[in-house]
């Protein structure tokens, strides 16, 4: 599937999810910023994809990232982040959401599984109730601790700080 065919609006994703459920496909969702893509992201998305048939990724809009990260983030804008993620084989569909958390769209998509990164503990997962009330389950993926966007940014700053 071409990159452009994977990038959808939330409305399109809801329709796709309904159709896929009628086809008895197991839908997995995840969400995040995915600002500077690194090996930890790629492994996480591959692990999420193995949990079902279709992986749908909700990506935080630029404005929502600024609200909960900092006014200096994201480094890459949402169009760029979506294009890069859509280029991964593990990602079937991707869309942007502007809310501070994914509960609203999860209540509409009703995934079979919602995957979260291993940097979350079960008590920190706001969307747990929405997912479980709609018959889905939460899966916490193992964390690749040696990889993080913050570490990539720090490394870039340390290398180029005095140039």
> Is the confidence at residue 85, as pLDDT, over 80?
yes
d(CA 146, CA 89) in angstroms, rounded, equals 23
Domains present along the chain, CATH in parentheses: 3-160 (3.40.50.620)
Q: What are phi and psi of 54, to 5 degrees?
A: -130, 130
Which of 115, 82, 112, 75 has the alpha carbon at shortest distance from 97? 82
How many CB atoms neighbour CB 6 within 10 A?
20
The mean predicted confidence, pLDDT, of the chain is 91
d(CA 141, CA 163) in angstroms, rounded, equals 39
Lowest mean pLDDT among 8-17, 100-109, 140-149: 140-149
Which residue has tokens 């869309």? Answer: 95
| The model's pTM | 0.92
| 45-59: pLDDT as tens digits | 999 999 999 999 999
Residue 121 binned pLDDT confidence (cut-offs 50, 70, 90): confident
Q: Tell me what pLDDT residue 9 has.
A: 97
């Amino acid at each position: 599937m071409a990159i452009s065919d994977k990038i959808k609006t939330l409305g399109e994703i809801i329709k796709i999810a309904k159709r896929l459920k009628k086809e008895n496909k197991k839908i997995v969702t995840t969400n995040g910023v995915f600002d500077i893509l690194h090996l930890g992201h790629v492994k996480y998305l591959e692990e999420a994809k193995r949990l079902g048939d279709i992986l749908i990724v909700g990506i935080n809009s630029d404005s929502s990232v600024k609200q909960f990260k900092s006014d200096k983030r994201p480094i890459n804008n949402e169009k760029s982040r979506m294009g890069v993620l859509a280029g991964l084989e593990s990602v079937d569909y991707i869309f942007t959401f502007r809310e501070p958390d994914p509960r609203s769209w999860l209540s509409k998509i009703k995934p079979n599984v919602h995957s979260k990164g291993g940097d979350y503990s079960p008590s920190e997962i706001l969307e747990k109730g929405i997912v479980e009330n709609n018959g889905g389950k939460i899966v916490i993926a193992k964390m690749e601790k040696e990889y993080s966007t913050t570490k990539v940014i720090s490394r870039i700053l340390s290398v180029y700080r005095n140039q």
